[in-house]
Amino acid sequence: MPESAAVPVPPTPPVPLAALLAREDLALRRIAGPRGPDPAVHGAHASEMADPYPYLLGGELLLTAGAHLPGAAAGLDAYCDAYVARIVAAGGAALGFGLAPVHDTVPRALVAACEARGLPLLEVPPRTTFSGVARAVWELMAQARHDGLRRVTEAQQSLAAAASRADPVPSVLRQLARRTGGRAVLYGPDGTEVAAAGREPGSGTGAALARLARVVRPAGPPPTGTATAPTAPAPAPATVPSSATDTTGGASLAAYALGSGRGFVLGIAAPHREAGDHTVAAVAAVLLSLLTGEHRGGPEAARSAALVRLLLGAAPESVAPLLGGDRWQVVHGRPEGRAPDAVAAAALGAALGSPLVDLGEDVVRVLVPGEREPLAQPGWTLGVGAAADPADWPAADVRAARALARARATRAPLVRHGARPALADLVPPDEAEAHARALLAPLDETLAATLRAWLSLHGGWDRTAVALGVHRNTVRQRIARCAALLGTDLDDPDVRMELWFALRQR
């Protein structure tokens, strides 16, 4: 319906015309109009006006009993064509014609006009009232509104959970791509893809999305080495929109400038745009802004001052008040399955409630206020040291490292260093690992795994066989092989204790 392309429709969740036709209680029948894309109905309106144009907002299912149609056959064709043309011009979604009491059948002239103008025509049986049709429309709209709110709520929860993972930026993009059914891309300040997830909904959408991202990216300073005229007046900054949308090849594109102020842009390419997609994308943009941004203000100035004083020789206890407290906990964390990066380290610090983060080669250290309770984080293995005064921070750091080693050895998501150290805490982790490697060197992975399972089950042959999924004789043979390779008596409790300690370190 090209005539109604520019007609605005009410801001209500649309109802597919097919949903109305599927209602058995209405028994509506489609007798004319295009069979292509299903039109969206934004409301129902009953009128017997010869010209309904002034009373339509656009998107309505117009209901009529044909009382306004001329009784004589002469001129009926021209009348129906003009009548349908006005409905199309007003942006009407469809026309419903009620049978009885005025007309027993739908006039052929009206059917022909709807076919010619591309307006869906529905036959409303005598037993179906117009108020019943209107009520069905509003019921379907209410259900659509409820479904949309639930979809947005579920998407917000999944995005928030993704932002707390060890790889927050890729996780947020994966959730966003899954929720929109397309592809989500984070562009850097220079326009390159920093991270992406999902599939492109069509050919050429990737290049089109990159072009749209440039529309919302703020203009940065000239690249290093670019010659500029010192005397030339600086041009006035151009107004850059915070978001932009476009379509290409039937796909819906959207770009959002992140609020971090660093030039990052979120791009989304989806097969189609549904109600609530903008809200879901806005939530993702806020989360990505927090993950990519730099927070500056009073607290950061105080932290900078503390760092400068430490570099100039001040004692830790004298700068602790600048950090917001005297007692702090040291937390060591390692993400599962990969090395930590800067974004993951910042996300861990945010989850633990502290900006004091140190990114190492394979571990992230976070200084957390002593009154705060560090909790396990999805995708991370954490070791927590007890709260300590500034003078004891180096020792607290060592205790947190030992707690992390225990957490990794026992496959626990979080281990807190206790007041009474365990035996493993008394040995430095590097020395314990070196001892374990030397002691267990004669064993391959299969034998070591069998020995660990056997010791953990207190030497039970049958239970070990069930745990490993092998025959009990196989377990006996492997344990005998271990004893021979290690040259030791596995019935000796001291030997078992030493081997268990080594296997945990391994």
Say which residues have a Cβ less than 8 Å from residue 292's Cβ, sequence separation at least 6.
Answer: 169, 186, 258, 260, 262, 264, 343
Q: What is the DSSP letter of 237?
A: P
Helix residue ranges, H only, 59-167: 76-89, 108-117, 130-163
152: nearest Cα among 173, 174, 186, 180: 180
First to last CA, the chain: 71
85 neighbors 50 (Cβ within 8 angstroms): no
Query: In 432-442, which positions are buried (b, 16+ CB within 10 angstroms) versus exposed (e)?
Result: bbeebeebbee
Pick the CATH number of 164-218+242-292 from 3.40.50.1100, 3.40.50.10420, 3.30.70.100, 3.30.450.30: 3.30.450.30
Q: Residue 92's closest CA among 135, 129, 49? A: 49
What tokens does 355 get? 């900006």
* Tokens representing residue 310 in the block: 């430490």
Q: Evaluate if residue 220 carries a pLDDT over 70.
A: no
Please give the CATH number for the structural domain made up of 429-505. 1.10.10.2840
pLDDT of residue 55 exceeding 60, the answer is: yes
Rounded mean pLDDT, 320-329: 76
Question: Structure tokens of 486?
Answer: 């290690």
Say which residue, 196 or 236, is predicted with more confidence. Answer: 196
Where is pLDDT greater, at 48 or 342? Answer: 48
* pLDDT of res. 3: 43
Residue 237 near residue 219 (C-beta atoms within 8 A):
yes
- Phi, psi (deg, nearest 5) at residue 7: -80, 125
pLDDT band at 2 (very low <50, low <70, confident <90, very high): very low
| pLDDT value for 298 | 52
Residue 167: the pLDDT is: 80
- pLDDT top residue among 85 and 300: 85
Strands 380-384 and 15-16: unpaired
CATH number, span 2-139: 3.40.1390.20
Of 373, 376, 362, 453, nearest in space to 407 by CA: 376
User: What digits encode the pLDDT tens for the residues 253-269?
Assistant: 999 988 756 688 999 99
Among candidate residues 127, 96, 165, the one with its CA nearest the CA of residue 379: 165
401 vs 235: which has the higher pLDDT? 401
By mean pLDDT, which of 134-143, 193-202, 215-224, 398-407 is the weakest?
215-224
C-alpha distances out from residue 322 to 298, 313, 373, Å: 10, 15, 21
Report domain extents, the chain. Answer: 2-139, 164-218+242-292, 295-322, 325-426, 429-505
Lowest mean pLDDT among 184-198, 305-319, 430-444, 489-503: 305-319
The answer to whether residues 199 and 172 touch, using CB atoms and an 8 Å cutoff, is no
Of 292, 308, 366, nearest to 334 (Cα)?
366
Mean pLDDT calculated for residue range 479-488 = 92
Q: Which two tokens stand for residue 291?
A: 């993950």
